[in-house]
Structure 1
Amino acid sequence: MIVDTASRLFFTQGYHATGLNQIIKESDCPKGSLYYYFPEGKEGLASECIEHTRVVVLEKLNQCFANASNAVEAIQAFIQSVGEEAVESQFEGFMPFSFWAAVETSCISMNLRTDSQAVFKDWQDLIALNLQKEGMVEVKSVEVASMVLSLLEGALILTLTNRNEQTLMSASKYVAYLIN
């Protein structure tokens, strides 16, 4: 409950605007529990939120790769599902990783920057591995995976700014050009 509440608040308000007292109040957990599980305080909690997001996204990506006939279809399905989540949450409840974690916290904390780098590397490695399974050479697969993530993150920013999923849907369509 603490991690879910903190993730939601970090996303909607930002890392700096979210206080531990607010997380405690909204998660309805005792103050001692927060400090028991997160003795490093807010930074430790943010690190756990980053890890939670890493795992959730990796699971979704793996599921998309398992259910699709090729990497293009898998990545398109993933991006489309992100767009659907954005619409369902009215552009407020889903957690695009880049905003609060990578952008805001990497400038203030080496630990959170390292955590963010690891997340993007894991996602990139998963995409690259699946591209390699389809015959793409390693160097190119890593570059293409990086561009897929860049396209996705940029599309997320525009989707949230415009409160419209069209940019994500366009990004989904253009993934095929990047990969092919």
Structure 2
Amino acid sequence: MDTKSLIIEIATTLFQQKGYKGVGLNEILKVCYVTKGSFYHHFPNGKEELLIACLQLMEEAITKDIEDIFNQFQTTQEAIHAMIEKLVDDFEREGTITGYTFSSMVSEMASLSESVRNACSSLYTKIQEIYSNKLVEDGFSKEMGYSIALMMTAFIEGGMMLCITQNASAPLKTISDVLPYLLKENE
């Protein structure tokens, strides 16, 4: 693995564990075994540029995971149930949800920097597109598909946050039980 990729991978894990503000540049340098000169060679604009690279890495992983699940199932209802089931399993096995750490970084940093806000917005836009496209395949109009996709994103993101704060998977299970009623409107 090249130095830049190593820094991004390690920093992503550190940011997920401690938040952006909770990780200092010196800690990143120490854990990655790189000098400041090497760090600034790869990230001339500093820690914020690194954060954007980390958010892009997370975006790729999260959207690939969602796309893989949605491509396996014929309907949005089946796909969303499988996706939420995976989130519940991850939470019950690991005690956290990776997507939530993305959400926490969004709330921590998006209001401070336009470039970070744009990087965060990109993930949610891609998630909504995946949902919306599947809903259109199910027969919803483009407008209704977009609206439902927005609501699905908000439900699931909120559910992940509630799982973390309540230390329980019940919020996502409830969402999984209720979402089918929203998706049956088109039948």
DSSP-derived class of the 2:168 partner: coil
The amino acid of 1:176's aligned partner reads P
Cα deviation digits, residues 119-146 of structure 1 (max 9, x gap): 1111111110111111110111011001
Q: Distance in 2 between matches of 1:88 and 1:26?
A: 26
Shift of 1:30: 4.5
2:98 aligns to what SS in structure 1? coil
Cα shift readout 1:127-168 (whole Å, capped 9, x = no counterpart): 101111111101110110010010011111111112211211
Among 57, 60, 83, the alignment partner of 2:62 is 57
Q: How many equivalent pairs are there?
A: 178
Q: 1:150 to 1:94 in 2, by over 3 A?
A: same
**Identical pairs, percent:** 26
How far apart, in 1, do the equivalents of 2:34 and 2:84 lie? 34
Name the structure 2 match of 1:173: 177
8 Å contact 1:148–1:178 — kept in the other structure?
Answer: no
Superposed displacement of residue 28, structure 1: 3.7
Q: Which runs of 5+ in 1 are unaligned?
A: none
User: TM-score, with normalisation over the residues of structure 1?
Assistant: 0.90
Listed as ranges, the gaps of 5+ residues in structure 2 are 1-5
Q: Which residue of 1 aligns with 2:165?
A: 161
> For the aligned residues, what is the CA RMSD?
1.7
Which one of the candidate residues 114, 131, 142 is aligned to 2:135?
131
| Residues 1:171 and 1:26: Cα distance change in structure 2 (over 3 Å) | farther
Deviation at 1:44, TM superposition (A): 0.8
Q: Which moved more, 1:52-61 or 1:144-153?
A: 52-61
**Correspondence for 2:25:** 20
Residue 8 of structure 1, CA deviation: 2.1
- Aligned-residue offset at 1:59: 0.7
**Bigger Cα Rg:** 2
Alignment of 1:2-21 (within 5 A): 2-21=7-26
* Distance in structure 1 (CA, Å) of the matches to 2:30 and 2:126: 33
8 A contact 1:61–1:75 mirrored in 2: no
User: Partner letter of residue 79 of structure 2?
Assistant: A
Q: Residue 71 of structure 1: CA displacement?
A: 0.9
Q: CA deviation at 1:75?
A: 1.3
The answer as to whether partners of 1:6 and 1:49 remain within 8 angstroms in 2 is: yes
Q: 1:99 aligns with which of 95, 104, 125?
A: 104
**CA distance in 2: counterparts of 1:95 and 1:35, whole angstroms:** 28
